[in-house]
């Protein structure tokens, strides 16, 4: 049971990583980062079955960080969309000098 959970977690994390690296839409990249965080949660829960309850406690911390990241990330994406009228990250030059 533990190995299936870890395999599922690895697959989800790889899909999220490829989504962040390949896609250029900020919303899709944001969703792929959320997928990576959920993959970490699956790994914590799978490992907590063998180690103890400690892994499930970490899941709550990861979910808290994901919720904060979702709120701040969506606010930034909406602000950028209002300014540039696009969510394509190739068109952003906010951090250039």
pLDDT at 53 exceeding the cut of 70: yes
Which pLDDT does position 87 carry in this prediction? Answer: 84
- If one compares 89 and 43, the residue with the highest pLDDT of the two is 43
Which pLDDT does position 96 carry in this prediction? Answer: 63
Q: Are the CB atoms for 12 and 38 separated by under 8 Å?
A: yes
Please state the pTM of the whole predicted model: 0.81
- Which one-letter DSSP state was computed for residue 87? -
Chain CA centroid to CA 2, Å: 22
Which pLDDT does position 4 carry in this prediction? Answer: 92
* Whole-angstrom distance, CA of residue 36 vs CA of residue 33: 5
pLDDT at 22 exceeding the cut of 70: yes
Predicted confidence (pLDDT) per residue in 67-94, tens digit: 898 899 899 889 888 988 888 887 776 6
Please name each of the domains of the chain with its CATH number.
Answer: 2-88 (1.10.287.3510)
Rounded to 10 deg, the angle between the 54-84 and 26-51 helix axes is 180
- If one compares 15 and 57, the residue with the highest pLDDT of the two is 15
* Whole-angstrom distance, CA of residue 66 vs CA of residue 39: 12
**What sign does the CA torsion over 24, 25, 26, 27 have?**
negative
């Amino acid at each position: 049971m533990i190995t299936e959970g870890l395999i599922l977690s690895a697959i989800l994390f790889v899909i999220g990583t490829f989504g962040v690296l390949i896609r250029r839409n900020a919303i899709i990249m944001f969703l792929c980062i959320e997928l990576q965080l959920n993959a970490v949660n699956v790994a914590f829960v799978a490992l907590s079955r063998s180690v103890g309850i400690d892994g499930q406690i970490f899941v709550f911390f990861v979910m808290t960080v994901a919720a904060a990241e979702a709120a701040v990330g969506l606010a930034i994406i909406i602000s950028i969309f209002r300014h540039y009228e696009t969510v394509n990250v190739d068109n952003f030059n906010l951090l250039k000098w």
